[in-house]
Amino acid sequence: MSLEIKVPTVGESITEVTLSQWLKQDGDFVEMDENIAELESDKATFELPAEKAGILRIIAQEGDTLEIGAIVCTIEEGEGAAATPAAPKADAAPVAATTAAPAADENPDSYAAGTASPAAAKILREKGIDPATVKGTGKEGRITKEDAEKAQVAPKAAAAPAAKAAPAAAPVAAVAGARNERREKMTNLRKTIAKRLVAVKNETAMLTTFNEVNMQPIMDLRKKYKDSFKEKHGIGLGFMSFFTKAVTTAMKEFPAVNARIENGTELVYSDFVDVSIAVSAPKGLVVPIVRNAESLSLDGIEKAIAGLAAKARDNKLTIEEMTGGTFTITNGGVFGSMMSTPIINAPQSAILGMHNIIQRPIAENGQVVIRPMMYIALSYDHRIIDGRESVGFLVRVKELLEDPARLLLGV
């Protein structure tokens, strides 16, 4: 007797998903609740678990777009332990099919016993690299996407099949004047990002105002207390918590920055601040949310951001963790951005852009000194926020960051 596994309901506004990757192969024995596939919606990537133990029979193929309720596969009753020795180890599901044969040749003491994230497993399969030969730098030895991208094919693996070695030996693609092209289907997430960004540009009166922040006081504070902070709270003290705290404090004076328009005629003011933090994930930019950021301490904000960022890197964010948000902070500085005009994350009315910290000469007490300076940008919807409010808000954020004691005293 077989059981049909269907695409589950993942959100009110989601009507279809894309089958991005099978984590098990057709005919494999799977355990109940073992993840067997990755599904991608226009908001997040999530895993599909087996609803009972048995033999997997694949119906939908990778890349297929499926409606909610569509049949993905079936699971037949049967014993498969002998055919799939690695099956009982659920955590190894994403790489079990590629590691079974070569694992015996590897020294198990040479690498961490972690597993690969779904994104990392896919990259390693495309490279033909055994995950057992890659040392993971993630939590508990988990192989991250960055680990997979840096991984190189071992000499013995490259020399084994002549057919695989041939493409690597052909330098034709590097010839000057070559005009190669390749096409990739846009993911649901990328299509949604594109659609939303165009809509924001067309439907809002977006404007950007700039200022600069002397980061020396915060850097001095971090240097003095970072060790004791980490020892007490178990988390590092970063810049993002200071910016989040400054933003939520400034909003008490400029509530319009935390407002939104609904139904075209109503202004909705929130007395809480759910801060969306822009994070670069393997499949695109995502904005998980730190709920009630206005009530969190610096360590509480750091822990919330670290947890969400880890989930984003492993494509583990849920729809709920990315739904809502009243204000967004994005940090292009981690990629070296000097200045930019960030686009509003609708239906929010404003977004703060952080940038690279550069040592620059400034005038201080009548003297020219070198200080670590950062440009900050506030893009806002002029339909809701006036120029006085936008400039005043950004100046207030600057004041709080340049004198961190204000954040603690609330002045």
Banded pLDDT at 43 (limits 50, 70, 90): low
CATH number at residue 149: 4.10.320.10
For tokens 């009530």, the residue is: 295
Mean pLDDT of the chain: 82
The answer to whether residue 196 sits within a structural domain is: no
Three-state DSSP at 70 gives coil
Is residue 134 a contact partner of residue 143, using CB atoms and an 8 Å limit? yes
The confidence score (pLDDT) of residue 271 equals 93
Banded pLDDT at 107 (limits 50, 70, 90): very low
Q: Evaluate if residue 276 carries a pLDDT over 90.
A: yes
The confidence score (pLDDT) of residue 230 equals 93
Q: What is the mean pLDDT of residues 24-45?
A: 86
Q: What is the mean pLDDT of residues 217-239?
A: 93
Q: Are residues 319 and 217 in the same domain?
A: yes
In DSSP terms, 279 is beta-bridged to 286
The confidence score (pLDDT) of residue 295 equals 94
Classify each residue of 342-364 as buried b or exposed e, where b means 16 or more C-beta atoms within 10 Å of its C-beta.
bbbbbbbbbbbbbbbbeeeeeee
Classify each residue of 294-305 as buried b or exposed e, where b means 16 or more C-beta atoms within 10 Å of its C-beta.
bebebbbbbbbb
- The count of other CB atoms within 10 Å of the CB of residue 177 is 4
**pLDDT tens digits, residue range 120-158?**
777 787 777 888 888 888 766 778 777 777 887 665 444
The answer to whether residue 343 sits within a structural domain is: yes
Q: Name, of 75-89, 121-135, 174-188, 394-408, the range with top average pLDDT.
A: 394-408
The answer to whether residue 184 sits within a structural domain is: no
Q: Are residues 374 and 400 in the same domain?
A: yes
Q: Are residues 311 and 365 in the same domain?
A: yes
The answer to whether residue 305 sits within a structural domain is: yes
The answer to whether residue 270 sits within a structural domain is: yes
**pLDDT tens digits, residue range 345-361?**
989 999 999 999 999 99
Q: How far apart are CA 359 and CA 370, in angstroms?
A: 6
The confidence score (pLDDT) of residue 374 equals 97
CATH number at residue 353: 3.30.559.10
pLDDT > 90 in the chain, percent: 48
Q: Are residues 82 and 118 in the same domain?
A: no
Q: Are residues 136 and 14 in the same domain?
A: no
Does the predicted model carry a pTM greater than 0.85? Answer: no
**pLDDT tens digits, residue range 326-344?**
999 999 988 889 999 999 9
The confidence score (pLDDT) of residue 13 equals 64
Three-state DSSP at 134 gives coil
The answer to whether residue 101 sits within a structural domain is: no
Element (H, E) at 145: helix 145-150
Is residue 384 a contact partner of residue 259, using CB atoms and an 8 Å limit? yes
* 288: its two tokens: 């998980």
Q: Are residues 326 and 361 in the same domain?
A: yes
Cβ-proximal residues to 201 (8 Å cutoff; 6+ apart), any chain = 343
Q: Are residues 282 and 138 in the same domain?
A: no
Q: Evaluate if residue 72 carries a pLDDT over 50.
A: yes
CATH number at residue 40: 2.40.50.100
**pLDDT tens digits, residue range 290-337?**
999 999 999 999 999 999 988 888 878 888 888 889 999 999 988 889
> Peptide bond before 94: cis, by omega within 30 degrees of 0?
no
Is residue 131 a contact partner of residue 123, using CB atoms and an 8 Å limit? no
Q: Are residues 361 and 263 in the same domain?
A: yes
Domains of the chain: total: 3
Three-state DSSP at 305 gives helix
Q: Are residues 256 and 292 in the same domain?
A: yes
The confidence score (pLDDT) of residue 168 equals 53
The confidence score (pLDDT) of residue 356 equals 95
The answer to whether residue 334 sits within a structural domain is: yes
Q: Are residues 163 and 211 in the same domain?
A: no
The confidence score (pLDDT) of residue 119 equals 67
Q: How far apart are CA 174 and CA 155, in angstroms?
A: 22
Q: What is the mean pLDDT of residues 100-117?
A: 44
Q: Evaluate if residue 82 carries a pLDDT over 50.
A: no
In DSSP terms, 271 is beta-bridged to none
The domain in which residue 251 lies consists of 205-409
Q: What is the mean pLDDT of residues 245-249?
A: 96
Residues that are catalytic: 382, 386
Q: Are residues 159 and 296 in the same domain?
A: no
Q: Which of 119, 149, 169 is the last residue of a domain?
A: 169
- φ and ψ at residue 170, rounded to 5 degrees: -100, 105
Q: Are residues 81 and 127 in the same domain?
A: no
For tokens 């948000």, the residue is: 325
The answer to whether residue 314 sits within a structural domain is: yes
Higher pLDDT, 286 or 276: 276
Alpha carbon separation from 201 to 257, 385, 394 (Å, rounded) = 18, 16, 22
